[in-house]
Amino acid sequence: MSMFDAWSYREDTGYAEGTDLVGYKIAATDGDIGKIDEATYDTGSASIIVDTGPWILGRKVMLPAGIVQRVDNDEQKVYVNCTKDEVKDSPEYDPDTGRTQEYRDRLGDYYDRNRPGL
């Protein structure tokens, strides 16, 4: 049984409640992927919206808080436990439907499948 909670920040990330992550850079396990454009912090539904810039043609992606590996406030950088390709291949984010339960379930399942060691 998986212990992956896609929609909550893990306690060992260094994320402190009340910290605004908007504007922080995002680093995948194999390189930088963009900057945080939006962030939600509610336990059980926390996520970050990343503007990938020119990397994947300006596409925005939603990352569930559960894949955040570490927050470095000094560098203003958030490290996530996934590769650039995993982010690129994630379910398409649409601001109009990205907050629906159906999309969140699909996205959570996608990252859960790719987190065997989490």
Q: Which domain holds residue 66?
A: 12-113
Q: What is the pLDDT of residue 1?
A: 39
The model's pTM is 0.90
- Per the prediction, the chain carries an average pLDDT of 89
Q: What is the pLDDT of residue 44?
A: 87
| Count of domains for the chain | 1
CATH code of the domain covering residue 49: 2.30.30.240
Query: Which long-range contacts (C-beta less than 8 Å, at least 24 apart) are formed by 16-22?
Result: 16/71, 16/73, 17/41, 19/71, 19/73, 21/48, 21/71, 21/78
Q: Indicate whether 83 belongs to any domain.
A: yes
115 has a pLDDT exceeding 80:
no
Q: Indicate whether 109 belongs to any domain.
A: yes
Q: What is the pLDDT of residue 118?
A: 46
Q: Indicate whether 28 belongs to any domain.
A: yes
Q: Which residue would you say has higher pLDDT here, 28 or 54?
A: 28
Q: What is the pLDDT of residue 112?
A: 87
* Per-residue pLDDT tens over the stretch 7-26: 999 889 999 888 999 999 99
